[in-house]
Chains A and B, each alone.
Chain A
Amino acid sequence: MKRPFLAPVLRPLLGPLALVAVLGTASHSFAETPEESAAFAEAAAPFCSNPPKPLKDDQRSLCGYASHLPNCAAFQEACKQPVAAPPDLSWLAPLAIVARFVLYALAGVLVIGVFYIIFVAIRKVINDRTPSETPAKSGVKVVPLVEDAAAPAPLPTDGGAALLARADALLARGEPALALSHYLAASLRSLDEKGFLRIARSQTNGEYLRAIRDSEFRGAVAPIVRAVDRAEFGSVAASAEEVAAFGAAARALVMSPRRAVAAPSPFAAALPVAALALVLLGCGGENKKHGSPSGSEYFQSLTSRQGLTVTPLTHPLATLPDPRSKDAVAVMLNADETPLDDETDHALTAWVANGGHLLLSGHSSSWPKELAKAMAASKTSALEVAAEALAKTVAKKIPPPKTSEVPPPDALLLDGRDVRLATGIADDEEEYAEEDADEDESALESREPAEEAPRIRGFTAYSYSSDRPGMPLVRRGDGKTAASLVSVGTGTVVTLDEADLFTNAALAYPRNPTIALTLLRVAAGKGTPSVAADGIVRYSTYRTIERARRHDGRQGASDPLSALLAAGLRLPLIHAAIFAAILFFAYGRRMGRAEPDRLDSRRAFAEHVEANGLLWAKRKFGPLALATWARFAEERLRARMPKSATDPAHYLALETGQDPTFITEIWKRATEQSPTERARGDEIAILKTLAPLLDRLDSAPRRTLS
């Protein structure tokens, strides 16, 4: 049955599929020719000859390559070094708890500080834009000049020089009293600008004078201050000549270049320390003389030599430009390194579906969920049809591959089996088809055979031989698919089920540069591919490849709260809210309790005594509590007793209807109590018996004993 050729639909897919047809040959001819591998034969890899010791975790994860890399004995040796056991830091656990709270508190202070800085900045901007309010800052009322025809343009009112000019103008206009005030204002403002004092509305002229530590400036300002005070509060105006002399002194002061030597700010003082620490400790980067197996120097060299442009991502993944535009880019995303939030995942999936080209590496479990779902649901029929046609063409051009070379089990291989299978079917090389069909028997059983031609079925069967969607591009030594091409909407995703391929260690392996380069070309190629005699596929032009960094997968916060939550401060925020609520209610309760309107004139003393008594009672200081209360109670009783009464205890008993004998007895016990005496155990009981009686007496209307 002949299938219709869906040219418009398949056109975007032809390039990648053509590559698929060629890859098998490429893998087998790799050892002889690919120029990209030659770059790495020029010199021994630095990490092979001088690896960092000890290896970090990410470097150690690449040790699988060590035994397969030429001239890499040092790296192998480093890999054999036992992993140092982490030091026992369990004793730090209590400190960690404290440190956690301290960090939370510091974070809170930091947030408050940021808000405060913003507030101050806004206030400053507002003040700067309101010229009429500026003179108030100086504490000196600046009188505006009366506009007339001869008057010059309005002078700025801020700054010592401006005030000085205004004072000169006032003097010239025959207003020496106002000019004198302005000369003082100019002097003080200038000294403020020079750092000798701080102007405030609550400061007196005398305080300004005493605040000036510089004797020369103080000597210059002192006569002006005296003259101003005399004029303002003593009604003795200075003469125009005197004012002119003060003006000269003020001018010299304003024009003086001397400034106060300010103590370095904590920030400025911390800078040298931080710089020293950076010099001594480094900033955490890799030491270049060692090189790192997990570095990306080879990747950069490979792509630049092969004419591919790889740059950092210029837009967040959530806001990538239209993939159908002329300058559309291909995106390279390591899902292990760049986690995506849900919104970014959704936006990236839509971008791919609209025609974007993505090279997605990293373990499949970390792939963005929505994108993975879209890939799993992708329709591959178009791919299959195109593959059929291209496979025929390529198979005629390229001889069957040789299979003498046995790769290591953990090495990546360009998936030549697709080609073999397709070409085999197309060109009646049925041994390949049978071989592959046997190997993928389980997959065939689990999937419904396609209704189309057997050739298609065979290809399809192999394409789905793994649990990865799409068309396989790369397999591992054990036959598992490592990379595949998936169509999502009108875009494509080249998936690579690991992220190590683009590291120095992986690219140092002789086969892998071709694999990496092929995947990049498939992801970034534009137009129709051409197949060279060596089997390498090339495109006429390539899109710029933009590589996502760690932070590109998360959108910027839309508000401060989201930013705090995104920074992992959810729990501290909850703590802060709880603490704020507790403080609010505690403070409000105290303020509510202390309403001044309901207090009598002696409430301070009474409450003080009661609070002390309660505190001592709680602390089991019975003798002290009883003795203090007894003194207070006796004073209150005597103040209340009529003149005819002499015995407070008797008066208390009569007023409260108690047994006078009993009350007299415990009253005596209370008044004889010494604060320093050893407790007998009955102090609190006596206190609890007598205190309510006194309270009842205080609330009862006063009456006489007569």
Chain B
Amino acid sequence: MDSQAFATVFERMKSQIASVVVGQEDLVEGLLVATVARGHVLLEGAPGLGKTLLARAFALTTGTTFKRIQFTPDLMPSDITGSSIFDRDKGAFSFVPGPIFAQIVLADEINRAPAKTQSALLEAMADGSVSADGVSRKLPAPFLVVATQNPIESQGTYPLPEAQLDRFLVKLLVENPTRDVEARIVRAHADGFDPTNLNHITPVVDASTLVEMSHVAEQVRVDDAVVGYMVDLVRRTRDDRTIELGASPRASIALLRSARVVAAAEGRDFVTPDDVKRQAKAILRHRVMLHPDAELQGIRADNRIDEILRTAPVPRVA
């Protein structure tokens, strides 16, 4: 598969999902980029904006297995990873895989589970494997965790720790649709659209194609000037006075991976600063911790990242 074929497949996947999830083209693209870049996605948005629908449509489009985990305060780690159960017939313990053993895992309202349960996802997200009963079990490839959280409610929630936030490649914001888009959604439902029945979606690619796409993206050329630009952006988050904790080098790597996918999705075999800039907010917004004073003044991470993007010089070779 070359860059052009990559771009074609990418566009087909995007169109397929966008036909179901109306008016969220940027969100769909972000999800696809994260998947091909082998990253995990944190979706933040109010209930009812189609986060679950998006994950399900994505799983169906890519022909991957899909599991959903509703996080609750009493959810145990073993409820996610699975546990060993004594098999009376065999007279031995046998491992029953949990819902984590799927290619697309939707962790709905992830911040409702306590930290101990949340951390059960860490190993799976970082290594692509699960340890249970002293045995490490490999998860299927590709493996993508799509976690959702509601930014409004704080009652009975456990904010994700910074270490776990860093595991997500991108944090995508699910915004309310515009009036026209909302009208299209209502019209579709009036015409019989059933979000629980997505059987009409046919897979555009299979899991192996996704893996191949990842390999293609990894071959995209990145000029030193562009690498310098990525590093500059990340380092600027550490020098910003309103940011208490800047992004880590992992953020630079994340920028590299996602920018490569964006370039490939446009049929290019090289990354431009524009690709980096387009992914910067999604990559950085959950990796910076604002100063308390800045938070009290209503400043958001996106504001500071915008400012950094506005002031950082773009490299030019000539």
Chain A interface residues toward B at CB < 8 A: 139-141, 143, 177-178, 180-181, 201-207, 228-236, 590, 594, 596, 599, 601, 603-605, 607-608, 611, 675
Q: Across the two chains, which residue of chain B brings its CB closest to A206? A: B274
Residue B293, interface by CB 8 Å? yes
Contacting A233 at CB < 8 Å: which of B162, B271, B311?
B271
Chain B residues lying within 8 Å of A201, measured Cβ to Cβ, are: 313-314
Complex Cα distance, B272 from A289, in Å, reads 74
Closest Cβ of chain A to B255, distance in Å, is 14
Residue B302, interface by CB 8 Å? no
Residue B245, interface by CB 8 Å? yes
Complex Cα distance, B301 from A701, in Å, reads 34
Closest Cβ of chain A to B152, distance in Å, is 15
Cβ of B316 and Cβ of A590 under 8 Å apart? no
Q: Across the two chains, which residue of chain B brings its CB closest to A612? A: B296
List the count of A-B residue pairs having beta carbons below 8 Å apart: 94
Contacting A205 at CB < 8 Å: which of B241, B272, B291?
B272
Contacting B291 at CB < 8 Å: which of A139, A204, A206, A596?
A596
Cβ of B293 and Cβ of A594 under 8 Å apart? yes
Chain A residues lying within 8 Å of B271, measured Cβ to Cβ, are: 233
Residue B98, interface by CB 8 Å? no
Complex Cα distance, B154 from A425, in Å, reads 111
Complex Cα distance, B278 from A594, in Å, reads 32
Instruction: Known A177-B318, A202-B310, A604-B295; judge A596-B244 contact (CB<8 A).
Output: yes
Cβ of A590 and Cβ of B293 under 8 Å apart? yes
One of B53-61, B86-94, B137-145, B220-228 at the interface: B220-228
Some 14 contacts from A to B, beta carbons below 8 A apart, are A202-B310, A202-B311, A206-B278, A228-B318, A233-B221, A233-B225, A234-B268, A235-B223, A236-B270, A590-B293, A601-B245, A604-B289, A607-B292, A675-B155
| Interface residue ranges of B274-303 to A (CB < 8 Å) | 274, 277-278, 289-293, 295-296
Cβ of A207 and Cβ of B316 under 8 Å apart? no
Minimum-distance CB pairs A-B, first 8: A234-B270, A206-B274, A181-B318, A232-B317, A204-B274, A607-B292, A201-B313, A233-B223
List 14 other contacts, CB 8 Å, given A205-B274, A207-B277, A233-B270.
Answer: A139-B314, A139-B316, A141-B316, A181-B318, A202-B314, A203-B314, A204-B273, A228-B318, A233-B273, A596-B291, A599-B244, A601-B245, A604-B291, A608-B295
Residue B309, interface by CB 8 Å? yes
Most chain A beta carbons < 10 A, residue from B292, B309, B310, B311: B292
Chain A residues lying within 8 Å of B166, measured Cβ to Cβ, are: none
Using a Cβ–Cβ cut-off of 8 Å, how many residues does chain B contribute to the interface with A? 35
Q: Across the two chains, which residue of chain B brings its CB closest to A628? A: B154
Cβ of B291 and Cβ of A202 under 8 Å apart? no
Complex Cα distance, B272 from A233, in Å, reads 6
Cβ of A235 and Cβ of B221 under 8 Å apart? yes
Complex Cα distance, B310 from A69, in Å, reads 77
Closest Cβ of chain A to B244, distance in Å, is 6
Cβ of B223 and Cβ of A232 under 8 Å apart? yes
Complex Cα distance, B318 from A140, in Å, reads 8
Complex Cα distance, B262 from A595, in Å, reads 39
Closest Cβ of chain B to A10, distance in Å, is 81
Cβ of B162 and Cβ of A202 under 8 Å apart? no
Chain A residues lying within 8 Å of B155, measured Cβ to Cβ, are: 675
Chain B residues lying within 8 Å of A204, measured Cβ to Cβ, are: 272-274, 277, 314
Instruction: Known A234-B269, A604-B244; judge A611-B292 contact (CB<8 A).
Output: yes
Instruction: Known A204-B277, A601-B162; judge A230-B291 contact (CB<8 A).
Output: no
Complex Cα distance, B226 from A230, in Å, reads 13
Residue B312, interface by CB 8 Å? yes
Closest Cβ of chain B to A63, distance in Å, is 64
Complex Cα distance, B245 from A231, in Å, reads 37
Q: Across the two chains, which residue of chain A brings its CB closest to B220? A: A234
Complex Cα distance, B162 from A608, in Å, reads 16
Closest Cβ of chain A to B229, distance in Å, is 9
Chain A residues lying within 8 Å of B269, measured Cβ to Cβ, are: 234
Closest Cβ of chain A to B62, distance in Å, is 27
Closest Cβ of chain B to A695, distance in Å, is 17
Chain A residues lying within 8 Å of B272, measured Cβ to Cβ, are: 204-206, 229, 233
Complex Cα distance, B149 from A676, in Å, reads 24
Contacting A604 at CB < 8 Å: which of B274, B278, B290, B311?
B290
Instruction: Known A177-B318, A201-B313, A607-B292; judge A230-B270 contact (CB<8 A).
Output: yes
Chain B residues lying within 8 Å of A141, measured Cβ to Cβ, are: 316, 318
Chain A residues lying within 8 Å of B292, measured Cβ to Cβ, are: 594, 603-604, 607-608, 611
Instruction: Known A233-B270, A603-B244; judge A178-B318 contact (CB<8 A).
Output: yes
Complex Cα distance, B293 from A603, in Å, reads 11
Complex Cα distance, B225 from A204, in Å, reads 13
Q: Across the two chains, which residue of chain B brings its CB closest to A142? A: B318
Complex Cα distance, B291 from A604, in Å, reads 6
Closest Cβ of chain A to B117, distance in Å, is 15
Complex Cα distance, B271 from A599, in Å, reads 38
Complex Cα distance, B315 from A141, in Å, reads 10
Complex Cα distance, B316 from A594, in Å, reads 38
Closest Cβ of chain A to B116, distance in Å, is 11
Complex Cα distance, B314 from A318, in Å, reads 58
Cβ of B316 and Cβ of A611 under 8 Å apart? no
Cβ of A143 and Cβ of B274 under 8 Å apart? no
Chain B residues lying within 8 Å of A203, measured Cβ to Cβ, are: 314
